[in-house]
Amino acid sequence: MSGEDNRMDSADTRALHRFQRGPSAHRCPAGHGALRVWPDADAPSGVCLICTACGHRVTVDDTSRPGTADDEPAAQTETAPDVRLSDGIAPRGLRPDGTVRTTGWAQFGNMPIPTGFLAALAAFSAAVPLAPAAPLVPVVAPPIGYLAWKLGRRWRPASQAINTRRVPIAALTTGQQIRLYGTAGPVGEVSSVTACATGHLKVRMVGGLEILRRPEQQIWQVDLRN
């Protein structure tokens, strides 16, 4: 791992990640919520705080860092899954293992296509062949499909997640949120990235889940919306 990766995984930086998930986090002046911890080779600390929505950036130095892990009780060094949104609340789809169940898997550019609309469209498409025998079926099918999706979301809460960019596994740093499998499905927050003897990288998520990938393999970073 490079020096920059080591600084992103240092005790100070992990403490800063925890601070930014709390109620006293440094926030974007434009109202976009808590700033994200981001690697910065030009900063003495090796990291900065940045708003991923508008690009507002704050340099992090020793005076702006919160208390480090050395200042905290040992019992707090290993916490329960603590994935948080920019406003400090837990994602709607957060599961006990620390991963986040998501919806809105289809998107046009950076704009998500509502899953409820897709459910209604699928129900309509399935009902069209029945129109000659039952003309009203295609009319009632879309609201039934939408209602079924709505009930399913109540039964299994999910967060809306937007794919933002693809990056190689080797570029991942602590605190980034990624798709665990392909372009859709659950999201995890990176806790650490370590090299294996086989040449692969082991990516550990908040909550303990681990995935093994090649350093050059591309993975989607995401923006959790709720």
User: Do 14 and 35 sit in the same domain of this protein?
Assistant: yes
pTM exceeds 0.85 for this model:
no
HEC string for 189-201: EEEEEEECCCCCE
User: Do 122 and 187 sit in the same domain of this protein?
Assistant: no
User: Do 34 and 84 sit in the same domain of this protein?
Assistant: no
DSSP-derived secondary structure for 89-111: PPPTTB-TTS-B-EE---EETTE
Helix axes 137-155, 115-127, angle to 10 degrees: 140
Q: What are the helix (H) ranges across the chain?
A: 3-8, 11-20, 115-127, 137-155
Predicted pLDDT of residue 110: 60
CA distance 134 to 23: 56
* Residue range(s) defining the domain that contains residue 29: 1-79
User: Do 150 and 176 sit in the same domain of this protein?
Assistant: no
Q: Which of 90, 82, 73 is closest to 19 using CA atoms? A: 82
DSSP percent split of the chain into helix, strand, coil, nearest 5 = 25, 25, 45
Each residue's pLDDT tens digit in the chain (226 positions)?
455 555 556 777 777 777 777 766 777 777 777 788 888 777 777 778 888 777 777 776 644 555 444 444 333 333 445 788 877 788 888 888 888 988 765 656 666 666 777 778 888 888 888 888 888 888 888 888 888 877 777 777 888 888 888 999 988 888 899 999 888 888 999 988 888 877 788 899 988 888 888 889 999 998 888 8
Domain count within the chain: 3
CA distance 217 to 176: 16
User: Do 64 and 88 sit in the same domain of this protein?
Assistant: no
In a domain, 125, yes or no: yes
Predicted pLDDT of residue 178: 93
CA distance 31 to 86: 11
User: Do 74 and 178 sit in the same domain of this protein?
Assistant: no
In a domain, 106, yes or no: no
Tokens coding 115: 């899953």
Q: Which of 177, 171, 172 is closest to 206 using CA atoms? A: 177
**Which residues is 219 bridged to in the sheet?**
167
Given a contact cutoff of 8 angstroms between Cβ atoms, the answer to whether 180 and 188 are in contact is yes
CA distance 130 to 202: 51
User: Do 138 and 167 sit in the same domain of this protein?
Assistant: no
User: Do 166 and 212 sit in the same domain of this protein?
Assistant: yes
Host H or E run for residue 19: helix 11-20
User: Do 89 and 180 sit in the same domain of this protein?
Assistant: yes
* Sign of the torsion angle spanned by Cα atoms 222, 101, 9, 61: positive
